[in-house]
Amino acid sequence: MQQVGIIGIGSTEVNEHWEYSLRELAGFAALAAMEDAGIRHIDGLFVGNMMSGTANRQQHLGAYLSDWIGMPMIEGVRVESACSSGGAAFRAALMAVASGELETALVVGVEKMTDVTASEISTELSTAADADWESDQGVSFVGLNALLMQRYMHEYGWQKADFANFALNAHANGAGNPKARFQRAITREQYEKATMISPPINIMDASPVSDGAAAVVITSIEAARSVAKQPIVRIIGSAAATDSITVHGRKDALWLTAAYDSAKRAYDQAGISPSDIDFFELHDAFSIMATLSLEACGFAERGKGPRLAIDGGIYPSGRIPIATRGGLKARGHPVGATGVYQIVETAEQLRGEAGKNQIENVRIGMTQNIGGSGSNVITHIFSNL
Amino acid sequence: MQQVGIIGIGSTEVNEHWEYSLRELAGFAALAAMEDAGIRHIDGLFVGNMMSGTANRQQHLGAYLSDWIGMPMIEGVRVESACSSGGAAFRAALMAVASGELETALVVGVEKMTDVTASEISTELSTAADADWESDQGVSFVGLNALLMQRYMHEYGWQKADFANFALNAHANGAGNPKARFQRAITREQYEKATMISPPINIMDASPVSDGAAAVVITSIEAARSVAKQPIVRIIGSAAATDSITVHGRKDALWLTAAYDSAKRAYDQAGISPSDIDFFELHDAFSIMATLSLEACGFAERGKGPRLAIDGGIYPSGRIPIATRGGLKARGHPVGATGVYQIVETAEQLRGEAGKNQIENVRIGMTQNIGGSGSNVITHIFSNL
């Protein structure tokens, strides 16, 4: 497989963008990434998006966007795997470039969720779960995660307050990111007194509905060396795995097999172990998902994820900084864009451009994008060496 | 780029499958293709589908289907590019295998359209056009194609009756295909007296709303040689191109630039010209699309597509047989599945398994899958040599 690197990144602020259309949002990020890369042409476009068909009455985003950014003749498709659509689009583009079929590819993650009601969004999100055995029974995504968190607390003896640091860290980091949805720190008291959504998940355990777009330009390392204006960020590991789409279909609901499996293969490709990872942009759509992801990827023992958070290990100064620019919780979770935001933010850290969020001396960063309740997990490892 | 071949194919009958769910339909085709290939494991799943989010309230088909066919741990994504989603999923899988990242991939195209009303389907189909400039102005897909056909007739001096042979050929071929949606020939009189939908398009110029699933297993030629039970069908050309998503955004609405461009690149890859193609599974969603595709791919001069049909050049015994198993018109057009049906049928012809539809002495077949009104075109060339 040909070596591939990131040569350009771009993103919009995550917000309620009522003033911009879907194509404008996506276009802003796409053109920013191309300008950052210093190139005017790409060979293929891969769009990560989950819900534009319903929320914006627009599918066919490959043609829709290639036209808008002034390259109507390039190839262009949408890749969808629920909340991991962004990571999946990146991986499809990576394989296209690695095959030699395309020299340069543009990956754009975009989601515009606030044009419709919260109830419509909740219904649309539920299409990521099993229509027959989950959604039609009335369980929402918050509901599924609440069941997991409740069971986790019961099984391992944690209290709800023990999860506070996931939200505190995310919001503190969001305060340093001018593109984050929430740019203010929160207090422990605010976490503990936050409005309950679906017990034990309160509003500080859940990531917000948002609009946003993020984009990256990738090319072969060989081509990158001759065109790159920016430091090249190398992709040293990439793997994806599914799991039973239903939570009840898994042997052990508290162990994310797909996260474990994709991380293990990515580590093997990169020839490294968890101790070599300097920071981790994980999928903290809910506090419980952050916990389970840390455990599956080898950063905490089973049932000990909250301990890592309580001890400060997830903070910028800790053993494995997570959500360094706010994560899904504070940067926001524009669904199909999230996986690409994670990659843009990782590239920012590795290029030393993370501003107030910059972690010192970082060499290797990891991203993990999770679709559904752990049923589609895409892991990437990047290096600036 | 590594050489890749098809080692297994499978498909369901195209029909109104009210007795089966989306997962059953897709699963039948997937397991049939794996059984045909004689393998029990694949490394990745690529699902072509356009409208399951709306028509079946189910997205996330990668995890949904990998779970159902008993391989919950493989990677799995959905690829969407409107009516060319099937061809796009195949091309994504091809690049994944060609990169060496996956050894064996399963491509499944599936669409289950008849669970909702025709009006809902029409609205959903319109998400393939531009939401702001086409769909919101009230133009449907039949409407867009009617405008193209009207203009074509005006520009080149053809009468509506001159398009009859596209429907006659498709239905005559469908009569020989036990999996076709319509398995009966039609007469010239039936074509001419058919119910008008959107002038000049009548019901015999348009492909039917349908349910169906088709699947193929691909692997590297090297691996294929050691595992294949069936004759290997080699992929010798693959290319995709977009065009302005709106019809009015094109310099010349009667010339499918994306079809021309993707066909030209596929010919170049294969090192052949149109005269080397023995048969052509084209995208006859409407008679006018068949006409424009034949012209863009070099089988007829501009404005002369109907002449090729009138002279019988598109018949099984003609210069370039098209829609050999019924095409979109008579086999049916389950949107996201169509591109994979085209590839399954091409493999059947190249393996000599097309039954009553078998074309003699075929060596090279081409497929062309068109998304939107010509705005996303994916062309593949296959050989049994």
Residues of A in contact with B241 (CB under 8 A): 73-75
- Residue B114 contacts A, CB cutoff 8 Å: no
Q: CA distances (Å), A97 to each of A1, A44, A93, A307, B261, in order?
A: 9, 9, 6, 41, 20
Residue of A nearest to B57 (CA): A127
Tell me which of A41, A74, A77 to substitute to probe the interface with B (most B C-beta atoms closer than 10 Å).
Answer: A77
State how far the Cα of A377 lies from the Cα of B144, in Å rounded to an integer. Answer: 40
* B108: Cα within 13 Å, side-chain hemisphere: 34
Enumerate the residues of chain B whose CB falls inside 8 A of the CB of residue A96: 92, 95, 99
Instruction: Please give the Cα distance from B176 to B330 (Å, whole number).
Output: 11
| Gap between the Cα atoms of A323 and A100, Å rounded | 33
Amino acid at A312: G
- Which pLDDT score, from 0 to 100, does residue B1 have? 61
- A247–chain B Cβ distance below 8 A for any pair: no
Peptide bond into B208 cis (omega under 30): no
Cα–Cα distance for residue pair B228/B36, rounded to 1 Å: 9
pLDDT digits (tens, 9 = 90+) for B78-94: 999 999 999 999 999 99
What is residue A288's DSSP assignment?
A: H
Catalytic residues of B: 83, 333
Mind telling me how many Å the CA of B155 is from chain A's nearest CA? 25
- Of residues A326, A323, A104, the one with CA closest to residue A216: A104
List chain B residues with CB under 8 Å of A80: 59-61, 77-80
Find which of B3, B91, B245 to mutate to test the A interface (most A CBs within 10 Å of its CB): B245
Q: Is the dihedral of CA B311, B314, B319, B325 positive or negative?
A: negative
Kindly list the residues from chain B whose CB atom is less than 8 angstroms away from the CB atom of residue A98: 99-101
Rounded CA-CA distance A369/A109 in Å is 12
Pairwise CB contact (< 8 Å): B67 & A375: yes
The shortest CB-CB distance from B95 to any of A51, A53, A96 is to A96
Residue type, A264: K
pLDDT at B72: 84
Q: Which of A83, A108, A286, A125 is nearest to A212 (CA)?
A: A108
CB contact under 8 A, B135 and A57: yes
CA of residue A134 relative to chain centroid, distance: 24
Q: Which of B74, B135, B376 sits opposite A76 (nearest CB)?
A: B376
Q: Are A30 and A340 in contact (CB under 8 A)?
A: no
A:B CB pairs within 8 Å: 223
- Pick the residue from chain A with its C-alpha nearest to B372: A60
Asked if the Cβ–Cβ distance from B67 to A261 is below 8 Å, we say no
Using CB atoms and an 8 Å cut-off, which of residues 1-40 of chain B contact chain A? 1-2, 21
Give the bridge partners for B280, in sequence order: B322, B366
Six-digit token string for A136 = 């039609």
Q: Does A118 touch chain B (CB under 8 A)?
A: no
CA distance B245 to chain A (A): 6
Taking Cα atoms as reference points, which of B5, B2, B103 lies closest to residue B380?
B5
Using an 8 Å CB-CB cutoff, list chain A residues near B56: 131
Residue from A17, A83, A171, A380 carrying the catalytic annotation: A83
pLDDT of residue A1: 61
Give yes or no for a contact between A316 and A93, defined as CB atoms under 8 angstroms apart: no
Query: Whole-angstrom Cα distance, residue A9 to residue A293?
Result: 26
Check if B100 contacts A (Cβ < 8 Å). yes
Average model confidence (pLDDT) across chain B = 97
B2 pLDDT more than 90: no
Instruction: Please give the structure tokens belonging to residue A19.
Output: 């003033």
| pLDDT tens-digit series, residues B252-303 | 999 999 999 999 999 999 999 999 999 999 999 999 999 999 999 999 999 9
Q: Hey, are the CB atoms on A79 and B77 less than 8 Å from each other?
A: yes
Chain A positions touching B80 (Cβ under 8 A) are: 59-61, 77-80
pTM: 0.98
The distance of B356 to chain A (nearest Cα, Å) reads 36
How far apart are the C-alpha atoms of A85 and B62, rounded to whole Å? 11
Please, which contacts does B28-31 make with residues 24 or more away whose CB atoms are closer than 8 Å? B28/B213, B29/B108, B29/B109, B29/B110, B29/B213, B29/B214, B29/B215, B30/B65, B30/B69, B30/B106, B30/B108, B30/B213, B30/B215, B31/B69
Q: What is the pLDDT of residue B301?
A: 98
Residue percentage of chain B with pLDDT more than 90: 97
Question: Is A122 near chain B, with CB under 8 Å?
Answer: no
Cβ–Cβ contacts within 10 Å for residue A329, how many?
30
Reference A325, options A213, A185, A207, A173; nearest CA is A173
B326 — alpha (psi -120 to 50), left (phi > 0) or beta?
left
Residues of A numbered 335-374 whose beta carbons fall under 8 angstroms of chain B's beta carbons: which are they? 371-372
Predicted confidence (pLDDT) at residue B375 exceeds the cutoff of 90: yes
Reported ipTM: 0.97
Query: Are A80 and B63 in contact (CB < 8 Å)?
Result: no
3-state secondary structure chain B: CCCEEEEEEEECCCECCCCCCHHHHHHHHHHHHHHHHCCCCCCEEEEECCCHHHHCCCCCHHHHHHHHCCCCCCEEEEEEECECHHHHHHHHHHHHHHCCCCCEEEEEEEEECCCCCHHHHHHHHHHHCCCCCCHHHCCCHHHHHHHHHHHHHHHHCCCHHHHHHHHHHHHHHHCCCCCCCCCCCCCHHHHHCCCEEECCEEHHHECCCCEEEEEEEEEEHHHHHHHCCCCCEEEEEEEEEECCCCCCCCCCCCCCHHHHHHHHHHHHHHCCCHHHCCEEECCCCEHHHHHHHHHHCCCCCCCCHHHHHHCCCCCCCCCCCECCCCHHHHCCCCHHHHHHHHHHHHHHHHHCCCHHHCCCCCCEEEEEEEECCCCEEEEEEEECC
- Count the Cβ atoms, other than its own, within 10 Å of residue B385: 7
Weakly modelled stretches of chain A, pLDDT under 70: 1
Q: Which residues of A touch B20 (CB under 8 A)?
A: none
A182: helix, strand or coil: coil
Quote the tokens at residue B312.
Answer: 């019988």
Place of tokens 């189910």: B58
B92 → chain A, closest CA residue: A92
Residues in B closer than 8 angstroms to A370, CB to CB, are none
A297 catalytic per annotation: no
Helix axes A61-68, A22-37, angle to 10 degrees: 60
B186-202 average pLDDT score: 97
